[in-house]
Every structure is written in C-alpha cells, then in structure tokens.
Structure 1
Amino acid sequence: MRILGIDYGRKKCGVAVTDPLQLIATGLMTVPTHQLLDWLTDYLDREEVSDLVVGESLTEDRSANPIQKEIVGFERKVAKRFPELRLHRQDEFLSSRRARESMLAMGMKKKRRRDKSEVDRIAATLILQDFLEERN
C-alpha cells in the first residue's frame, strides 16, 4: 500500500506518493484545493493507500499559522469520508523554501522554479520523505 503526502494550500495543494513498499516519496501533482476531496476519492478508488500525511503549518516559534485551521477542517472531512485511512501530521516548516533550494540544486531553470505548482509538488514530496525518515 502507498502513503500520500499533501502540502495543503489555500488555492492549490501539492501531492506526493510513495512506492508500494513505502520507501521513496515522489511528487505526483498539484490539485486545486476546492477539488482535493474529489481528487482523493478518485485516487483512492484506483490505488491502495494506507496513510495520508498532511503538512502541519507552524511558525518558527511552533505556534499555528492561520491556515492551520483550514488544514484541521480538511483532516476532519477526510477522517469522516475515509475512516480506514490513517492520518498523520508532519511539520512542514520551511518546506516551500526547501523545495526552492532543491529545485536550484537540481539545476532547474528560473522560470520553472517560479512555478508555484512545481514548488507545491516538491514541498509535498519533502513533507512525505521527512515522515518516512522519522518513522524509521
């Protein structure tokens, strides 16, 4: 079974997924936030997923960012719609900055590094990879 990771945003959410052995996180896509639950329903119909990791949006002093309330609301909807799915939170502090740094290190062109969808997808990958590493 796979694990999905989500970098939740007000407009768009980056999505990453593991391989079936749950060893490697790979960026999957970016989904408009208002379509995320429907997208998740579709994906879960096609793929076996055991867990969902959602980035927890905290500030440097560990207090909640304003978007954290929306993330909690999303988690409640997911728990209600998909009770078999185990939900996890993973600190996403600086995930977007880390994503941009990764893009630069990979040699991506400036135009592609400015693409917020690409940043969100890579941030979701980093969140999921962090979860996998901390779990072991």
Structure 2
Amino acid sequence: MDRILGLDLGSKTCGVAISDPLGIIARALTTVRFESDDYETCLEEVLKLCRENKVKNVVLGLPKHMNGDIGIRGEISQDFAQMLEDNGVKVTLWDERLTTVSAEKLLISGDVSRKKRKKVIDQMAAVQILQNYLDRQKNF
C-alpha cells in the first residue's frame, strides 16, 4: 500500500501528516508555512512532499460548520483539492469538525507548553484527520 498524506489547511499554515506504508498509523510530518492565502506556494510544497514520499493519495480536512454547512474555509479546501487533483494527486475530502480542538486537548493532556503547542497544532490536527480516515478504512 502507498503512503497517504493528511492535510489540515489553514490560511497561513498547512499541517501535514503521513501514514506508515501499511496504512495503519498516522504520524506528524511537517507544517508548511506560507503567506496569508498564498495557496499556490502551499500547493508547490505539498506536491514536493508527495514526490519525496511517493504519495499519490491525500486526505484533506474539509471544515464544516457544526450544522454540516460548508462555509468559506470549506470552499477554499475544495478549491485546493481540485488544484491537487489537477496535478495528478487523488484527494479525499474528510470532515474535520473538532479535529483541532481534539488535537489541542491531546497536547494539553501531554503537558505540552502553549508555545510548543502553537508550533505543532496543525500537524496534530492533520494526524487526527488522517488517523480517522485510516481507522475508517480498516472497518470496511
């Protein structure tokens, strides 16, 4: 099985996680930083990570409102997914509601300082997105 990237796309950062070769465990990889709303730069970095890690599939967090509606952030994620697909990467959009909150709680329970949490929160959210996806695949 090929490795899969998990992405938590924000307006200035993109948390990146990667699966193990068997598709069982997700781990943090990096945080891509870019100028506000410069998704072209983010795309270039994500495509580079895909090439370096021989990744053909990406799970991209899809932010939704609690009522299930897709807002502006969700539309940006959908556009980014299309940009990835236009470059030959298969994308699965994954409901990411509460993943950042969950990642924050996990880091707090691990006694990670506020300063360090800020540096890794996007990666941890990407891990949550990818791990949820991998767990769901095992159940099918």
Q: What's the CA shift string for 1:69-115, capped at 9, x where partnerless?
A: 11111111111112xx32111110011111110001112123322x1
Aligned partner letter, 2:31: T
User: How many Å apart are 1:20 and its aligned residue?
Assistant: 1.1
| 46, 49, 54: which one aligns with 1:48 | 54
TM-score between the two structures when normalised by the length of structure 2: 0.88
**Over 6 Å off, 4+ runs:** none
Aligned residues with identical type, % of pairs: 28
TM-score between the two structures when normalised by the length of structure 1: 0.90
**Distance in 1 between residues matched to 2:81 and 2:53, nearest whole Å:** 20
| 94, 103, 119: which one aligns with 1:90 | 94
**Distance in 2 between residues matched to 1:43 and 1:111, nearest whole Å:** 26
User: How many Å apart are 1:123 and its aligned residue?
Assistant: 0.3
Aligned partner letter, 1:123: A
Provide the aligned length of Structure 1 versus Structure 2: 132
SS of match in other structure, 2:93:
strand
CA RMSD after TM alignment: 1.3
1:13 equivalent in structure 2: 14
1:29 equivalent in structure 2: 30
2:128 equivalent in structure 1: 126
1:105 equivalent in structure 2: 109
**Distance in 1 between residues matched to 2:128 and 2:50, nearest whole Å:** 21
Aligned partner letter, 1:11: K
Q: Which runs of 5+ in 1 are unaligned?
A: none
Q: What's the CA shift string for 1:13-65, capped at 9, x where partnerless?
A: 11000111111100111112532211122222222213100001101110113
SS of match in other structure, 1:78:
helix
Q: Which runs of 5+ in 2 are unaligned?
A: none
